[in-house]
Amino acid sequence: MSLFGNGALGRVVRSGVGRRRVQTLVIAVATMMAVASAVVAGALMVAAAAPFDDAFKKQQGAHITAQFDPAKASAAQLERTKELAGVTASAGPYPSTAFRPVDRSGFRMPTLTVVGRSGADADVDRVELKSGRWAHKPGEIVVDASFQGPSVDIGSALKTSDTPNAPTLSVVGFAVSVGKSADAWATAEQVESLAALGSPLTTQMLYRFDSASTKQQIVADRAKLASAVDSGALLGTQSWLDTKRAADQGAAATVPFVMAFGVLGIVMSVIIVSSVISGAVGTSLRRIGILKAIGFTPREVVRAYVAQALIPATVGIALGVVLGNLLAVPLLADTESVYGNVSLSVAWWVDVAVPAAALLVVGLAALIPARRAGRLNTVEAIAVGRAPRPGRGQWAHRAMGRLPLPRPVTYGLATPFTHPVRALAMLLAVAFGTVAATFAVGLTSSLNEVGKSQDPESRAAVTVTTVRMNNIAPPPPPPPVGGDAAASPSPAAPSPAAGSSKPKVADPAKVRAAVKSEAGLESYYGKLQTEVAVAGVSGAVEASLYEGDSRSGSYEMLSGHWITGKGQVVVPTRFLERTSTKVGDTVRMTFEKESADLRIVGESFDTSGNELEVHADMANFPSAQPETFLVDVKSDVSADAFARKLAAVVQPMGGDATTVVESEQSGVILIMDAMAVLLTLMLIAVAGLGVLNSVVLDTRERVHDLGVCKAIGMSPRQTVSLVLASVSAIGVVGGLLGVPAGYLLHGVVMPVMGRAVGTGMPSPVLDVYGPVELLLLGLGGVVLAMLGAMIPAGWAARARTATALRTE
């Protein structure tokens, strides 16, 4: 007894699979492609949702984390905000400030937002203590678990600043706030004493609302808070939706384009499997008739042809699951959960659900043409054999015969009309292959533009720094454990030639003067990459502070304009969403101990993930000094020569000047590019195999006709031209359909990818297709069809005339 019925039926199935090797290969590759894409997409979708939601619910995370100015919002006013309509729970008020500690190795850590709380538990934001204990007295601090490492652990001492007499705090615990309400926690008294050292003091309130699942609801909830206090009292807010997006976005950006390839692969699988089985039925009419004549029932015939599709499909599905898991590894490795680095893998149910769904789809796709085989009349099937229906396509032969082209070409151009369903399947395969190629070219071009737009410094010809990197010597070794530091010999003062533990820093004013005096200078601007604290945003915020006209180094803008002077700031989309602000609003920014209220004048295109980078004029903070000067030279001046001359001047000061080297693409973009190329090649291969299978069927059906043509003088070259002409028109039409569809698909997917990482897409990233590029992609449809037909064309040309005439 066979798996597919009795022994005879099993032999029929195995014979069909083994005899139709092209059909078997096409089905296996098509299903492998579809399953691999679907597994990757499913794995990324699961990774993008885990594990934030469960943890946020468990900790009763804050929907809005608000920062108030204690000078403008009294305790009584803050208490009244707890009674606002829609507020279901609240916690606070807690004193809050920001400081930049120095760990025991002397490294200056990122700016930390520290909040004064008496315990981890609260009605909102139940902080989870991962190790150690809570801070109960001044001098103790609990730090977010993401900062735990060799230099920061239980018992470590953190200096509150890099000044010589700065007080120290002892780390007594590590905790996690899923809502990212703070980076560290201490007693209220400790926070107030930190603020007394010069950092601004704010008041934190945490709220949960009955409606906070959309951005519009968050904005409405924020408006309620702002209206409940005096004007200007609400300094800033942080939305839980943005925190969730930041936790999810490790995989979120890749989901849209992988899903697009997955859908293309599934649709192509359905088309090709249906076409393959339909072709198998059409070319096996005599065989089907004989099977029925010797006793096979219609149901057994249907089962036989469905099984001939399911066997190679099962092999392809198994290979697709393995390939999908391999492709998902680099993407999942880049994904970070809210808890830090977490080992993620493809969920087991994805490896079960996707193959099961694929097998069902293949079975249904094969069932329709298989049922046609089951309904065939036995006598008619034996009598007709594999010849096409009489008279079909003759009008096309008459019409094509009038064209001023060689007869083999016109014969080939008319061939698709003999089997319109098969020609339609071939057309769709070519069209979808062209869609994939067009989409992939646009996707990789857009990703490359994204990489370029995120490195505006590379546009400058020369970079001048105030620090010469080869002046930096490694730090001195730590004293022996248990040794007496006072008894150890003090190191001699380092000489410039010997180097030191700290780099020699040039005076920015002198470096600026050297840049301005150098012949060949076109323009320049200064830049300082640093960290600032922004009211309403927990943790450090990356900031680029500019001196002079920095338009040549500006980011792409989504709205508003680049900074043009003092009092302005440009922020990314995520900043606007996290703080529920818009272009035109004012935010308070603190650099070191200097604060400034800056108006948001522009929304920048920024794909830096969870990090926020703001851009402001250096004049807002008088103590800030540029560490880098970005220089453009005149068109007739060599950048290398300019850099060498300037380096000779600034190197004795401690600075340096070098030509700008174009930065390499980030690892994520390279992975996405590689995956797009791989998936596209697989889709094109599937499309080519679909064409190959259809042309093989046509050639086998017409082998007798080809023998007659050869007998009356058709040469092998003319035979090849006949077969290739039969797919040329299909290639042209497929290209004309596929290029616009791929163009539209790119226009849909790229903005979705941008929204997944919390940003819009500027026109340079979206408008990546040129007329020549689109024309070549359209011609790619013809090339794809020709390549698919090349092998059967060669077989037809080599077939001997006598053999072809004997074959039916």
Query: Which residues touch 231 (CB under 8 Å, ≥6 apart)?
Result: none
The Cβ of residue 1 has, within 10 Å, a number of other Cβ atoms equal to 8
The predicted pLDDT at position 220 comes to: 92
Q: Which residues are CB-contacts of 212 (< 8 A; sequence separation ≥ 6)?
A: 63, 64, 218, 221, 240, 241
Question: And the tokens for 257?
Answer: 């384009």
Q: Residue 643 is encoded by which pair of tokens?
A: 């850099």
Question: Residue for token digits 């190795």?
Answer: 105
Helix axes 254-282, 420-453, angle to 10 degrees: 160
pLDDT in tens, 205-263: 999 999 998 988 999 999 999 999 998 899 888 899 878 776 666 556 777 877 787 78
φ/ψ of residue 87, rounded to 5:
-80, 120
Residue 468 in tokens: 């010469």
State residue 179's pLDDT score. 87
> How many whole angstroms separate alpha carbon 527 and alpha carbon 1?
79
Q: How many CA atoms lie within 13 A of 453 on its CB side?
A: 22
Tell me the pLDDT tens digit for each residue of 134-187.
999 999 999 998 887 777 889 999 988 877 788 899 999 999 898 889 999 999
In single-letter form, the type of residue at position 509 comes to A
HEC profile of 367-382: HHHHHHHHHCCHHHHH
**Rounded CA separation 368/277 (Å):** 9
- Supply the pLDDT for residue 391: 53
Specify the pLDDT at position 88. Answer: 95
Nearest to 96 by CA among 199, 3, 240, 180: 199
What is the distance between the terminal CA atoms of the chain, rounded to a whole angstrom? Answer: 33
Instruction: Tell me if 292 sits within 8 A of 305, measured CB to CB.
Output: no
Tell me if residue 598 falls in helix, strand or coil.
strand
Instruction: Count CB-CB contacts under 10 A for residue 27.
Output: 32
Please name every residue paired with 175 in a beta bridge, in sequence order, or none if there are none: 129, 144
Cross-strand bridge partners of residue 156? none
The Cβ-side half-sphere exposure at 135, using a 13 Å CA radius, reads 28
Q: Which residues of the chain have pLDDT under 70?
A: 1-6, 9, 12, 16-20, 44, 47-51, 246-252, 279-286, 331-345, 379-393, 397, 467-504, 538-539, 608-611, 660-668, 700-705, 708, 799-808
Could you give the 3-state DSSP secondary structure of residue 702?
Answer: coil
- Between CA 263 and CA 323 the distance in angstroms is 17
**Token pair of 97, please?**
């400030």
The pLDDT, as a whole number, for residue 373 is 74
Sequence-distant (6+) residues with CB within 8 A of 226 are: 234
pLDDT, residue 333, reads 62
Rounded Cα–Cα distance for residues 508 and 616 (Å):
19
Q: Which pLDDT score is estimated for 497?
A: 36
Q: Smallest Cα–Cα separation from 342: which of 180, 176, 182?
A: 176
User: How far is CA 674 from each of CA 329, 608, 694, 765, 791, rounded to the nearest angstrom?
Assistant: 13, 20, 30, 18, 29
In 402-475, alpha helices (H)? 407-414, 420-453
- Phi (first) and psi of residue 60, to 5 degrees: 50, 55
Could you give the CA distance from residue 38 to residue 346 in angstroms, rounded to a whole number? 11
